[in-house]
Amino acid sequence: MSTPKMSSLWNSFKGWSLKNKPDDSRPILASSPLEGESYKLEDVFYMEEEMQSMDPAGPGPCPETGIEEPVVPRRQRRSSFVAMDRRITLLWNDVWVQTKVKRRGKICEKICGRLEERPKVILRGVSGLARPGNLIAIMGASGAGKSTLMNVLTEHSLGSLEVRGQVSVSDSIKILPYMDEVSTYIQQEDVFVGSLTVREHLILQARLRMSRGISLERKLERVEDILEQLSLVKCADSRIGNPKTSGISAGERKRLSFASELLTNPPLLFCDEPTSGLDSYMSETLISMLRQLALEGHTILCTIHQPSSDIYSMFDRLILIADGRCAYQGDVDKAVAYFARLGYQSPDDYCPADFFIDTLSIRPGEEKNCHSRVDVLCNAFACSTESRVVQASIEEEIFQARTVYESNDDLPSRTRYRATCWQQVCLLLWRCAIDVLREPSLLKSYLVTSIGLGIFLGLLYLNQPYNQSSIQNINGFLFLIVVQISTTTPARIAAVIPNEVPLVSREHRSGMYSTTWYFLARFSIEIVTHVSQSLVVFGIAYYMIGLNRNILSFLVAMGTTALMAVTSVSFGVFLSVVSPTSEIALNLMIPIFFLFTLFGGFYMNPLTTPVYFIWVRFVSWYPAVYGMLQVNQWVTIQTLGKLCSGFVAGVADVSGIFSTGRPCSQDAVEKGKVKTTKADD
């Protein structure tokens, strides 16, 4: 691979450009290098070392322009180590998208008959090209297909769609095997962990997104560079916040979304409605930033809905989508003239973007005329010179980039995650712990409710004597503690984890971490939180009620309670994962825990359970935990007080799980099988 020339410009805050590297040097490492390339990690620091060697000792002319430059502090003159050495071209050719036809079951077909269900076509043979240095706007009326096109280009949310056509990225040398190595998708919704500060969030992102061969010091420097570039220094130490708590402003949240994705300086950017929810000033500022990135060599595509005239003029190229087809693709400043040539003249005082949307929209009650007009415009573009130029450019790009991968088997191997497994676990543990510790009101509520519930149960069953009448009370308390811990723990988890799924899904898709390590970290934090609460409740009540004071019995009871809490956490995580929302997870818990409680060993002896309900014993942990707590409580008790005549009960393990137990009745006392205490004589 020949040595490419360096990018003509550094980032906008860096000053002047560098000359080509020496002939015997190697190319600079890209932010996300592909496997098999001749990049080396030691080349990461080439740009900074070159800049330092050329850094003038005092005021002097720039070697590139000859213009006198003032001396600035070295910190401001240092370049970020993430170099834009690769310029990416994106192309898509003859893309068709339609919904998948859901086939009915055979029984349903026999009953209802076979119904013809036609798929809905969303995109119809759309082609296009995005070159480096261009800021491209994808516009269209609602339902035109612009969001679907963006999803196809980014391979995002395509589960229910059938896609045909070619989507490729190339660096003018070859077709690249993995688009996510050189691209990033900045979605419309801004999702963060609100308890983190802006700087903490970016440091975490840098450590998980950037190559493991880059030192921590360099990653932190990149974070500071991004904070300066996107004007986030002022709020760097402020918490991000969430809808329930105050935090940074909407504009700052949007810039933080861009900062997270720009840490690795990807050459290809996809932006979904970047100005959504922003005022006119912040929208213009954000598009200006994207414009500057395009000037630095990035390839940027944005879906945008009716921008203002000032924002519209900042784009280089325009793609208009109407009814799933391309109505125009070309330079922004030529679009008005193109439509005028077709007989659709935009008024002089009218925003071009509004004019295009009005012309291409399908109005209610005028569907036939609107569809006819859209078909005429799309057919006209398909036969136009502009369309032929785009198609010729696509064919030329494919011809130049000769390497094409026919199937997944031909793709080179790669390591998806840039951080090691250990780094992922540690960083996610830190974030989950911070999220809990920075909610003092939540921690206080957990502590107060745990202590309060323990004291309440202790007062309710205070100082139970060991006699026949107390057996029901003690066994009732043991079953009550099983039900309380086993139901409240999953309910609390189900109220939290489903809300984190959008964030986890987005970060996992960007290659930050594996979902396995996320759930391990989250599971660990939830275990610590809920096991400690369970032990507080049970420990307080255990002492106040006066249960078995044998130290070994106490430790076994606490250990059993801890294991029960761990099991409950696991079940709560499971329900949270399989449920799309917290409400669905909580609704699923109601019938499940009703069955678990009914067959838990207190209301019905499991040995008498009907055959068709035996399966509940093997999916519920209630009988095992309840039986173990009973055995642990009564197995060392040798004496009982006054016993009620005619009443026979299994003191230990009425659940039927364990084979121990000691019958206790007045008859047993009379026969000398059970001793009575002196206090009851």
pLDDT in tens, 647-664: 334 444 444 444 444 444
The residues that bridge with 640 in the sheet, in sequence order, are 676
Residue 380 has pLDDT above 50, yes or no: yes
State CA 405 to chain mean position distance: 29
Largest CA distance in the chain: 113
Q: Quick one: which of 616, 559, 613, 627 has its CA closest to 592? A: 616
Model confidence over 503-537: pLDDT tens digits?
Answer: 998 899 888 999 999 999 999 999 999 999 999 99
Model confidence over 465-506: pLDDT tens digits?
Answer: 888 788 889 999 999 999 999 999 999 898 888 888 889 988
Q: Quick one: which of 40, 513, 83 has its CA closest to 266? A: 83
Query: What is the Cα–Cα distance from 483 to 596, expressed in whole angstroms?
Result: 9
Strands 663-664 and 649-650: antiparallel
Q: Predicted confidence band at 113 (pLDDT cuts at 50, 70, 90)?
A: low
Per the listing, tokens 């031909």 go with 410
What value does the mean pLDDT take over residues 234-247?
Answer: 87
State CA 33 to chain mean position distance: 24
Do 595 and 622 form a contact (C-beta atoms < 8 A)? no
Determine the residue type at 661. Answer: G
Query: What b/e sequence results for 661-678 when a residue is b if at least 16 CB atoms lie within 10 Å of its CB, and e otherwise?
Result: bbebbbeebeeeebeeee
Mean pLDDT of the chain: 78
Do 325 and 126 form a contact (C-beta atoms < 8 A)? yes
Query: What is the Cα–Cα distance from 186 to 511, expressed in whole angstroms?
Result: 14
Do 327 and 355 form a contact (C-beta atoms < 8 A)? no
In three-state secondary structure terms, 422 is helix
pLDDT at 306: 82
Q: Predicted confidence band at 188 (pLDDT cuts at 50, 70, 90)?
A: confident
Do 324 and 123 form a contact (C-beta atoms < 8 A)? yes
Pair of tokens at residue 286: 């954000």
pLDDT at 456: 96
Query: What is the Cα–Cα distance from 284 to 146, expressed in whole angstroms?
Result: 22
The rounded percent of the chain whose pLDDT value lies above 70 is 75
Residue 269 has pLDDT above 60, yes or no: yes
Residue 646 has pLDDT above 60, yes or no: no
Query: What b/e sequence results for 551-573 when a residue is b if at least 16 CB atoms lie within 10 Å of its CB, and e otherwise?
Result: eebbebbeebbbebbbbbbbbbb
State the Rg of the chain over Cα: 34
Residue 16 has pLDDT above 60, yes or no: no
Model confidence over 94-109: pLDDT tens digits?
Answer: 999 998 876 655 555 5
Q: How far apart are the first and last CA of the chain?
A: 99
Residue 44 has pLDDT above 50, yes or no: no
Model pTM? 0.75
Query: What is the Cα–Cα distance from 14 to 27, expressed in whole angstroms?
Result: 20
Per the listing, tokens 């592909």 go with 34
Query: What is the Cα–Cα distance from 422 to 520, expressed in whole angstroms?
Result: 11
Do 48 and 78 form a contact (C-beta atoms < 8 A)? yes
Pair of tokens at residue 209: 């997104």
Do 16 and 65 form a contact (C-beta atoms < 8 A)? yes
Q: What is the DSSP letter of 42?
A: G
Residue 635 has pLDDT above 60, yes or no: yes
Residue 613 has pLDDT above 50, yes or no: yes
Higher pLDDT, 270 or 604: 270
Model confidence over 152-173: pLDDT tens digits?
Answer: 988 887 777 888 988 888 876 6
Q: Quick one: which of 251, 278, 265, 252 has its CA closest to 223? A: 265
Q: Predicted confidence band at 240 (pLDDT cuts at 50, 70, 90)?
A: very high
Q: How many CB atoms lie within 10 A of CB 46?
A: 21
Do 352 and 312 form a contact (C-beta atoms < 8 A)? yes
pLDDT at 144: 86
Query: What is the Cα–Cα distance from 628 to 379, expressed in whole angstroms?
Result: 76
Pair of tokens at residue 523: 């599971």
pLDDT at 64: 41
pLDDT at 331: 94
pLDDT at 87: 84
Beta strands in 100-225 (DSSP E): 121-130, 135-139, 161-170, 183-186
Q: Which residues lie below 8 Å from residue 138, measured CB to CB, with a gap of 6+?
A: 146, 149, 150, 301, 302, 303, 304, 319, 321
Residue 389 has pLDDT above 80, yes or no: yes
pLDDT at 109: 56
Query: What is the Cα–Cα distance from 431 to 520, expressed in whole angstroms?
Result: 13
